[in-house]
Amino acid sequence: MKGLYPLIGLMVCVFLFNASEFLPVSLLTDIAEDLDVSHFEAGMLISFYAWAVAILSLPIMLLLRKMEYKRMFLMCIFMFMFFQALSGISNNYWMLLVARLGVAASHAIFWSIVTPIAIDLVDAKHRVVAMSSIATGSCLAMVIGLPLGRVIGLSLGWRWSFLSIALVTFVMLVILFILLPKMENPGTFTIDRVPGIFRNKVLLGIYVVLILIVTGIFTSYSYFDAFLKDFAGFAENEITMLLTVFGLAGVIGSLLFSRRFSDHKTVFMLSSFIGTALMLFLLNPSSFALIAVAAVIFFWGLCYITFNLPLQSNLLSESPKDASPIVMSIYSGLFNVGIASGSLIGGAVTDSIGVGYVGYVGAAFATASTVILVIYLLPRLNRNTENNSI
């Protein structure tokens, strides 16, 4: 397949970025205890990170809109490596927060361009495979990266989890400098076309359902460690196993997407949204037994991938080629609005009525997203008549 080796390199970078982004989730308790802060303050590392990505994504991409893609990508990877290392040597909460905000700036660039670059690397018939490989990198971060980072953190201290990512990133920076071809950026997108993105009713619908469902997911996921340890009472090794189950389900979901999505687009979207709402609702009732909560987490992980990939696919299909990084930067920004909002809401729930209720609150947001999907977005996608110019 054309572009196979650079595509694998991109998948590894996705693995690293996702492992880094959610590593505080799996080490939340240890970071809080070591830096002498509350669970809520430690959880705010996730929230501040997400808000930084949300705020920076569109402005950075508008500033870089004419930069050649390989140069932009390598610059992004270098920034990521530097601030990961800074995270690993942080000796207080505020230093760690600054380092995480630096990683967030690189994140804002990365998720705006990695999917368009992956698609451009391959032939048109392999577009779905390219998108699936990006999702697989994300899932492997949950299957291998998060548990491995957690094991490293518990064995050597949480700082070494971040330092390990920085070291591997350096290796990937060298490899991609060699493998990634030069990719010209048309640079024809102008700032005055941004309002046209929000006039497109399909794109607007995608953005709205995205914010709501991601808020619901991360109301629960941001406090996953605290829920499983403090509410459900599971041991450290059991929590690591459950994190692995979540990621493994995502790998299966990405494989299903690459093989079945083209023929079953509506089924993929509808089932993933309904399934997310249902699994979040069942999180609390299932926590009485390891096997029950493992089943819920598995189907939750499956739905996580099968809602995200179809939204991105429809987003890129509705956008002119030169607008792809811009619409993806908005998507990435709004995704992180959902992460930040979910983290904030989950923290408020945890500090008020208890961490055991985060699933119910998350399910309410996911249900609202599903209603809008069914009433507003799916009819427009199925008719495929919304082609407002951007």
Three-state secondary-structure class, residue 201:
helix
Asked which of 25-29, 160-164, 357-361 is least confident by mean pLDDT, the reply is 25-29
Residue 388 lies in a domain: no
pLDDT at 79 over 60: yes
pLDDT of amino acid 70:
92
Structurally, the chain folds into a number of domains equal to 1
Q: Is residue 389 part of a domain?
A: no
pLDDT over threshold 80, residue 72: yes
Average pLDDT of the chain is 87
Is residue 193 scored above 50 in pLDDT? yes
CA distance 350 to 358: 7
CATH number at residue 241: 1.20.1250.20
Enter the DSSP assignment of 191: G
286 contacts 293 by C-beta, under 8 angstroms: yes
Q: Looking at this protein, which amino acid is placed at residue 63?
A: L
What pLDDT shows up at residue 384? Answer: 59
Question: Is 254 domain-assigned?
Answer: yes
Is residue 324 assigned to a domain?
yes
pLDDT-based confidence at residue 1 (cuts at 50, 70, 90): low
pLDDT at 385: 45
**What are the tens digits of pLDDT across the range 207-232?**
999 999 999 999 998 888 788 888 88
Is residue 155, in this structure, part of any structural domain at all?
yes
Say which range, 1-15, 88-102, 325-339, 372-386, has the weakest mean pLDDT.
372-386
DSSP run (H or E) holding 185: none
- What average pLDDT does the segment 297-320 reach? 86
Residue 390 included in any domain: no
pLDDT band at residue 57, thresholds of 50, 70 and 90? very high
Instruction: Point out the least confidently predicted range of 28-32, 83-87, 284-288.
Output: 28-32
pLDDT band at 281 (very low <50, low <70, confident <90, very high): very high
Residue 330: inside a domain, yes or no? yes
pLDDT over threshold 90, residue 106:
yes
SS3 annotation, 39-79 = HHHHHHHHHHHHHHHHHHHHHHHHHCCCCCHHHHHHHHHHH
Of all residues in the chain, what percent carry a pLDDT higher than 70? 96
Higher pLDDT, 307 or 75: 75
For residue 389, pLDDT beyond 60:
no
What is the reported pLDDT for 388?
47
**pLDDT, position 29:** 77
pLDDT score at 150: 73
**CB 120 within 8 Å of CB 183:** yes
Confidence of residue 372 (pLDDT cuts 50, 70, 90): very high
Residue 185: give the domain boundaries: 4-383
In a domain, 296, yes or no: yes
Contact 6, 155 (CB under 8 A): no
